A = this chain, B = another copy of it.
Amino acid sequence: MIPTLYLIPSTLGAENVNDFLPEGTLTIIRSLQYFIVEDSKTARAFLKTCSITIPQSELVIQELDKHQPDQDMAELLLPMKSGISMGLLSEAGCPGVADPGARVVAEAHRNGYKVMPLVGPSSLLLALMASGLSGQQFCFHGYLPIDKAERMKKIQRMEEAAKSKKETQLFIETPYRNNQLLADLLQYLSGETKICLASDLTTPDEHIRTLKVKDWKKSPPELHKKPCVF
């Protein structure tokens, strides 16, 4: 039988996994013994909240580092050569989306293994849904350039694409730099351009609001250290 690489979403900071992961996803997590993760400590803590029945000491957990060379991807998937299915787990949200997991998935495809994505929370998708901005066409840019001039150019190019193609632009920032990014957006964008700020998604502090730049300027929110999708 062809083994399967299951792509396992994890919660975004919420404690109750049942609120955010379907029973179908949890059942598969509980059936697996082999995992590829970003950080074993947080992965073990997450698996515990999923009420796994395999003792932690019997789990085989390998860490994926974004700086690892390509040949290491093949090594991570070695158990699949013996027909064992594995789980690829993200630190938060969906593996392969704004995280280093895609290289492992690509290696699985190269070997002809089955790849099965499981349903769970993605901050990008939740933010897009809740923004009220177009979901007919959208672009995710990851992190914006740090260099001041390049960043300004990127922001202006995104505004141009949003206007001319009616394409929603999504991006993220290291949480302790969120306030600076918002300040830059309010400085460089036209007053009529809409910004959605979606922070602390799926937690009790979740806050999602879409306003025009000129309205955000009146009372810019405090985003310091809050995970936020722009």
Interface residues, chain A, CB within 8 Å of chain B? 7, 16, 18-24, 94-99, 101-109, 115-117, 119-122, 124-142, 167, 201-202, 206, 208-211
Contacts and interface: CB of A to CB of B under 8 A. Distances in A.
Chain A binding site: helix, strand, loop or mixed by DSSP?
A: mixed
Nearest to A167: B139
A130 B96 contact: yes
Given A19-B23, A22-B18, A130 B142 contact: no
A23 B132 CA distance: 25
Contact of A22 (B20, B104, B117, B206): B20
Nearest to A7: B129
Nearest to A133: B102
B135 A102 contact: yes
Given A122-B125, A202-B119, A136 B23 contact: no
Nearest to A196: B109
A199 to B, nearest CB: 13
A130 B106 contact: no
Nearest to A201: B117
A139 to B, nearest CB: 4
A173 B68 CA distance: 37
B119 A132 contact: no
Contacts of A139: 138-140, 167
Given A7-B129, A18-B22, 11 more contacts: A20-B24, A21-B22, A95-B129, A97-B125, A98-B135, A105-B129, A109-B132, A109-B209, A119-B119, A137-B140, A139-B139
Contacts of A116: 130, 206, 208
A133 B106 contact: yes
A131 B105 contact: yes
Contacts of A97: 125, 128-129, 135
A16 B25 CA distance: 12
B94 A129 contact: yes
Contacts of A20: 22, 24, 119
Given A24-B19, A119-B120, A132-B109, A140 B141 contact: no
Contacts of A16: 24
